[in-house]
Structure 1
Amino acid sequence: MITSITTDMDGTLLNENQEISEVNKQAILDAQQQGIEVIVATGRSYEEARYVLQDAGISCDIICVNGAEVRSKEGKIIYQSGIPSLHAKEIAAALNETGIYFEVYTDKGTYTENYEMGIELIVDIFTTANPAVKEEQVRQSARERFEKGHIKLVEDYGTLFNDDSQLVYKFLVFSFDDDQLNAAGEKLKTIEGIAVSSSGKENLEVNSIDAQKGVALQKVLKDKGLSPEGAMAMGDNLNDLSMMKVVERPVAMGNALPEVKEFCAYQTAMNREDGVAKAIREALQSPVK
């Protein structure tokens, strides 16, 4: 039987309303009662992940910002992997050359220089995970992101890179223009020590090479004395692949990208169909191969 369960959030654990359904919640609580370690791995910041889990009454370790930070269920930082200031400036310069929009995640919060583009970015991530949801509903969720203080407006990202009290975790890059997005991706390829992934059809996510979901998950499992052979991981997008590669039971959501489905040995229902709960129930009844 499995000994640990790791789940992505957007497009996986969360339904089309950006909530954890009662069915998914109960499956997670049942697994925890059986002594199975449950871990959430997300591209979100800790605060953006925490408030959703807290509302659902779920307490677990959280791999945040694609693995740049790991928090215990009590909220204590147990692992960090940031982008050095010089590299952050190099990444920003490369992105600015293309004129593309990006946000910066640090250990002190998430920042944007452009409020309206910040709205568009989160709309892209939400609609990629939930294409059937009405755009206005998604846009309202995006506005709430700002209203709740999960993203902050800053005049110049340079103030963050020159602030020794802040550790840069991630760049979230966004454009509706495929050529511009591809150009940004090509420039990023020339920068060493970074990992580039994606959580939406119009975005790129840039982290330290040591800040990936898979790298962080390996550390968490090792610290807890758990084996990858007894581990399950669920996800839907490219930034989930690194953790799929380190577990014995990789599970693709029914709404996952083709590349994710192709890699995974297992598949479950869509996120709006309680796919996480179904995958957990099936795994609890099946021996790990």
Structure 2
Amino acid sequence: MKHLYVTDMDGTLLGRDSRVSSRSAEIISRLSKSGVPVTVATARTPATVEMLLEDTYINIPAIVMTGAAMWDRVSQRYMDVMYPEADAAWRVMCCCREHGVNPFVYVLRDNTMLEVYHNGRMNSREWKFYEERCGLTRKRFIFDDPHAYEEPLAGTVLIFAVGEGRAIESVAAVLMADGRLSVSSYRDIFNPDVAYLEVFAAGVSKAAAIGKLARQIGADTVTVYGDNLNDLSMFAVADDAVAVDNAMPGVMEKADRRIGANYEDAVALDMAMCARAEGFRV
């Protein structure tokens, strides 16, 4: 039997400093080199995944962008990318424009580089979002391109927006009725007047990507680790759903078991314990 281990990053594998500790990096690298299939499933793009896993070796692709794609760290290329239909993506842009929302449009080029388009004056939240990402490799921002909002751009993977809560939620309410799209909207935990919107192709989720990856590598059993409500789809398809001690109450309720907190290297230590029980010498 092959046992696949998948962990969320923020709040789960990453510690309080939003980094992978040297101890966790060493344990996961050792597991991977011993043949244990270990990977991450995250909403992040490879631009930050590569930076955070710089000292961590994993032997199978990473699940990125909430499952819209996988990232092969060896070839440095995107794999199994899910694109929304062109007319569905165009509907998103029209709906955003009708509600005064200027989204970031993520376009994949040559399976290696993300181009992120934005038109119009940025609000403070959009500017902060840009500033935190503008220096990253594998991601390039392009502003005020006259074609970006006029027609669906080939290679669009994600349409993301941040702004006034009511406007964002109005857009989400309209788009959620479109069966060609996967739509999520949520309020900022620090400022409830601000909301976020993420739009992918229909069927995009961490859970779907985990199922696809498990089939690709021939895994019979899957253990997942998470902390937040967006990890519950993973829990639903896992044989072993594990919540870290700092997880939200709703995640705790759905977990099969509970381990230590993210800042205690709990995920890596639990993976090692399970691998040893299966006979791996790690």
Query: Do the structures match in fold with TM over 0.5?
Result: yes
Closer, same or farther in 2 for the Cα pair 1:119/1:277, shift >3 Å? farther
Q: So what's the TM-score if we normalise by structure 1?
A: 0.78
1:194 aligns with 2:181: yes
Spell out the pairing of 1:244-283 with structure 2 (5 A cutoff): 244-283=235-274
5+ long unaligned stretches in structure 1? 122-141
Question: Structure 2: which amino acid aligns with 1:267?
Answer: R
Distance in 2 between the 1:13 and 1:259 partners?
Answer: 19
1:159 paired residue number? 148
Question: Structure 1: which amino acid aligns with 2:275?
Answer: L
Distance in 2 between the 1:277 and 1:50 partners?
Answer: 18
Report which of the two has the higher share of strand: 2
1:18 paired residue number? 18
CA RMSD of aligned residues (A): 2.9
Structure of greater Rg: 2
1:56 paired residue number? 55
Question: Structure 1: which amino acid aligns with 2:62?
Answer: I
Distance in 1 between the 2:62 and 2:123 partners?
Answer: 27
Do the aligned partners of 1:45 and 1:110 also contact (CA within 8 Å) in 2?
Answer: no
1:85 paired residue number? 86
Closer, same or farther in 2 for the Cα pair 1:145/1:263, shift >3 Å? same
Question: Structure 1: which amino acid aligns with 2:67?
Answer: G
1:134 paired residue number? none
Report which of the two has the higher share of helix: 1
Distance in 1 between the 2:265 and 2:102 partners?
Answer: 34
5+ long unaligned stretches in structure 2? 190-194
2:192 paired residue number? none
Distance in 2 between the 1:157 and 1:281 partners?
Answer: 52
Do the aligned partners of 1:101 and 1:117 also contact (CA within 8 Å) in 2?
Answer: no
1:99 paired residue number? 100
Closer, same or farther in 2 for the Cα pair 1:90/1:25, shift >3 Å? same
**What's the offset of the Cα at 1:100?**
3.7
Do the aligned partners of 2:85 and 2:180 also contact (CA within 8 Å) in 1?
Answer: no
Q: Secondary structure at the match of 1:5?
A: strand
**What's the offset of the Cα at 1:249?**
1.0
Identical pairs, percent: 24
Spell out the pairing of 1:116-135 with structure 2 (5 A cutoff): 116-121=124-129
1:219 aligns with 2:208: no
Q: Secondary structure at the match of 1:59?
A: coil
Q: Secondary structure at the match of 1:95?
A: helix
Distance in 1 between the 2:27 and 2:97 partners?
Answer: 45
Closer, same or farther in 2 for the Cα pair 1:173/1:159, shift >3 Å? closer
Distance in 2 between the 1:181 and 1:159 partners?
Answer: 20
Q: Secondary structure at the match of 2:11?
A: helix
Distance in 2 between the 1:251 and 1:198 partners?
Answer: 25
